[in-house]
């Protein structure tokens, strides 16, 4: 394998006459000396190729490579308006709803303060190296998650299609959670929050108000006003029998999600120039609100009980494998490598942008946000325990969205100035979700526009509309009366196994097929220095083992799903694996297609399929062509 660097103002070197005679077949598509070849690189930079200066080796450039070099991609690639647009977009993508509800629960469940040890270790040796890798690939090759594989290892191009399907699955349920938050936000504009009393049409005889002035008697059948508001008014889950009978569609939620998708469309339809401005609001607003809620929570009576419960270390937990699996899963899904978003965002950077610094800064911000979110949640849960005269563990037994929409919502409702805090809290949830959705869909949009520029390059607005409409119709099943059951199923099975496997194959393809030496050389061209031995060891061995560890743990003990009083049937596990596998099938399908469609013997097909095809733009307008 040899790499040739050709300058855009020089002419393309072709095989010597004797070389062609020796081969017996003149290479097709290679111009004769003196003929100019105009090309537009697939990364959006134009170049003119003609005979080069003296080259001792005078190697031939294969016809396939030259043909790929002539791919047309009109105009220069769009770039971020400002460096902060990129940073805020990446931070907004990494910091999402899971930071607010999942990390605090996982932390206290797996050893409290002791959990921070495996969490930090997994971040340093697994999450951050993968995060760093994707930013480097995106910035160097300047392509989305589909076409970038032509420049790395073409046989794994199916990874890009898998990532796009996973992004659609994610959008089907993730935006529904924002629709719930929007419903809460609209309901909060009242003098008295509707989930503070048992006198509403949706309440049952079991509704018991903890905070009523009279002495309320709590029994095993009692439910709080906040729980009934969430389950019976927002979800209307009592009108569904389970996954086998989801019931009708809630028109209120349809209106909410329509508004959500309208905001999403007009935020990303013009590209990163537009979304980069929107994230100045959606990425910074949550931090302002978190700070306000943290100060308010810290001043509540009993807040210290929640903090102690949250961070009290249980060192024995460090001996349990499940804790390390939980730490690895949390950091992986929090930072978000493998979803194609980091590739897409980094592809709009300038060639010499310091993505190494960006990776470290955004990773630290993400982890610190998770930790602070825990204080925000558990100070309030400590207050709840103080008012109920219960243990914090009883108040914090809800997991997932229920922790926010029931426990936290109930606590807010019984604070002074409850309407104000309810409004800013649910506004925070919506903004946290929005920039993550911007990112997820931008990963798909960039991938398709780069792969099919002749179809969609001048029709971005139309394509974005098609994507948003598809996500809207896919979300309808989660807006049914039993939609919460579907949300839980998709959250656990639709994305996790597929993304983990994709990330593992991606790491192997980059570090072992493309080559760690070549990858580090690419990094050096951009940054001026090569990654150290720590990063090389992590990339070659530790990161793949990190991913393999999570995958094996997931397969050995698939999650047993339960929501409220509903235990998922056994067939739902099979359904979940089928949904997750459906996206991953793109990887082996493309491998088979590639080997069948490539001419030559099996060995020649394999070599061609793992050899980078297309040129990559270098600093200063150079071109790198990979030749065998």
Q: Per-residue confidence at 327, pLDDT binned at 50, 70, 90?
A: confident
User: Which pLDDT score, from 0 to 100, does residue 163 have?
Assistant: 92
Write the pLDDT tens digit of every residue in 76-127: 677 888 889 899 999 988 888 888 878 888 888 888 888 889 999 989 988 8
Q: Per-residue confidence at 69, pLDDT binned at 50, 70, 90?
A: very low
For 204, left (φ over 0), alpha (ψ -120 to 50), or beta?
beta
Kindly state the average pLDDT of the residues 401-416. 84
| Of the candidate ranges 352-356, 381-385, 608-612, the one whose mean pLDDT is the lowest | 381-385
d(CA 132, CA 123): 12
HEC per residue, 453-503 = HHHHCCCHHHHHHHHHHHHHHHHHHHHECCHHHHHHHHHHHHCHHHHHHHH
Write the pLDDT tens digit of every residue in 20-51: 444 344 443 344 443 333 333 334 333 333 33
Write the pLDDT tens digit of every residue in 479-514: 999 999 999 999 888 888 888 888 899 999 998 999
Numbered residues of the known binding site for Na(+): 92, 94-95, 99, 334, 366, 432, 435-436
Helix (H, G, I), strand (E, B) or coil at 37: strand
Write the pLDDT tens digit of every residue in 527-580: 999 999 999 999 999 989 988 888 888 778 777 788 888 889 989 988 988 998
463 vs 211, more confident = 463
User: Which pLDDT score, from 0 to 100, does residue 614 have?
Assistant: 59
Max Cα distance, the chain (Å): 100
User: Do 12 and 52 meet the contact criterion of CB atoms below 8 Å apart?
Assistant: yes
| Mean pLDDT of the residues in the chain | 81
For the stretch 582-613, what's the b/e string if a residue is b when 16 or more beta carbons lie within 10 angstroms of its beta carbon?
ebbebbeebeeebeeebeeeeeebeebbbbbb
Considering 18-22, 221-225, 450-454, the range whose residues carry the highest mean pLDDT is 450-454
Residue 32: both structure tokens together:
């004769």
Numbered residues of the known binding site: 92, 94-95, 99, 334, 366, 432, 435-436
Residue 62: both structure tokens together:
């294969």
User: Which pLDDT score, from 0 to 100, does residue 216 have?
Assistant: 61
DSSP state of 78: P
d(CA 488, CA 478): 10
CA-based nearest residue to 127, from 417, 469, 366, 464 = 366
| Of the candidate ranges 44-53, 81-90, 236-245, 436-445, the one whose mean pLDDT is the lowest | 44-53
Q: Per-residue confidence at 211, pLDDT binned at 50, 70, 90?
A: low
Going along the chain from its start, the domains and CATH numbers come out as 83-613 (1.20.1740)
């Amino acid at each position: 394998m040899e790499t040739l660097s050709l300058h855009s103002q020089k002419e393309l070197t072709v095989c010597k006459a004797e070389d062609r005679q020796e081969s017996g077949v003149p290479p097709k598509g290679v111009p004769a000396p003196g003929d100019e070849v105009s090309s537009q690189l697939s990364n959006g930079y134009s170049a003119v190729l003609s005979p080069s200066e003296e080259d001792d080796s005078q190697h031939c450039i294969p016809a396939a490579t030259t043909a790929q070099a002539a791919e047309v991609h009109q105009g220069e690639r769009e770039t971020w308006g400002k460096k902060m647009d990129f940073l805020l977009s990446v931070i907004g993508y990494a910091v999402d709803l899971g930071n607010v509800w999942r990390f605090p629960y996982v932390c206290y469940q797996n050893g409290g303060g002791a959990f921070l040890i495996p969490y930090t270790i997994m971040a340093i040796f697994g999450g951050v190296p993968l995060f760093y890798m994707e930013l480097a690939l995106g910035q160097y090759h300047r392509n989305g998650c589909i076409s970038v594989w032509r420049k790395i290892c073409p046989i794994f191009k199916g990874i890009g299609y898998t990532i796009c399907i996973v992004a659609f699955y994610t959008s089907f349920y993730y935006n529904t959670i924002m629709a719930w938050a929007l419903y809460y936000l609209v309901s909060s504009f009242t003098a008295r929050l509707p989930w503070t009393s048992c006198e509403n049409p949706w309440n049952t005889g079991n509704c018991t108000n903890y905070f009523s002035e009279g002495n309320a008697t709590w029994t095993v059948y009692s439910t709080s006003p906040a729980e009934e508001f969430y389950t019976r008014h927002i979800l209307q889950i009592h009108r569904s029998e389970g996954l086998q009978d989801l019931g009708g569609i809630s028109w209120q939620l349809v209106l909410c999600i329509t508004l959500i998708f309208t905001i999403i469309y007009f935020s990303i339809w013009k590209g990163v120039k537009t979304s980069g401005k929107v994230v100045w609001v959606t990425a910074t607003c949550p931090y302002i609100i978190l700070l306000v809620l943290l100060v308010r929570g810290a001043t509540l009576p009993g807040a210290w009980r929640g903090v102690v419960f949250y961070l009290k270390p249980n060192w024995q937990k460090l001996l349990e494998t499940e804790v390390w699996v939980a730490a690895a899963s949390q950091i992986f899904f929090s930072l978000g490598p493998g979803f194609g978003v980091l590739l897409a965002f980094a592809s709009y950077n300038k060639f010499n942008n310091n993505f190494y610094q960006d990776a470290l800064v955004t990773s630290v911000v993400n982890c610190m946000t998770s930790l602070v979110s825990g204080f925000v949640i558990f100070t309030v849960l400590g207050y709840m325990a103080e008012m109920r005269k219960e243990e914090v563990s009883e108040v914090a037994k809800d997991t997932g969205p229920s922790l926010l929409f029931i426990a936290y919502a109930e606590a807010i409702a019984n604070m002074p100035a409850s309407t104000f805090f309810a409004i800013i809290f649910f506004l925070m949830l919506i903004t946290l979700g929005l920039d993550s959705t911007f990112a997820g869909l931008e990963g798909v949009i960039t991938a398709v526009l780069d792969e099919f520029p002749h179809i969609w390059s001048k029709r971005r607005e139309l394509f974005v509309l098609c994507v948003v409409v598809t996500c809207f119709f896919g979300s309808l099943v989660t807006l049914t009366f039993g939609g919460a059951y579907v949300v839980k199923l998709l959250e656990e099975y639709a994305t996790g196994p597929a993304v983990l496997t994709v990330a593992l194959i991606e790491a192997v393809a980059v570090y072992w097929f493309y080559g760690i030496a070549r990858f580090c050389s690419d990094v050096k061209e951009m940054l001026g220095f090569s990654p150290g031995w720590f990063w090389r060891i992590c990339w070659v061995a530790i990161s793949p083992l990190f991913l393999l560890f999570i995958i094996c743990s997931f397969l050995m003990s698939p999650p047993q799903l339960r929501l409220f009083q509903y235990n998922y049937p056994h067939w739902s596990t099979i359904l979940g694996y089928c949904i997750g596998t459906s996206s991953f099938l793109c990887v082996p399908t493309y491998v088979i297609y590639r080997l069948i469609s490539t001419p030559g013997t099996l060995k020649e097909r394999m070599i061609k399929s793992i050899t980078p095809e297309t040129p990559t733009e270098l600093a200063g307008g150079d071109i790198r062509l990979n030749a065998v």
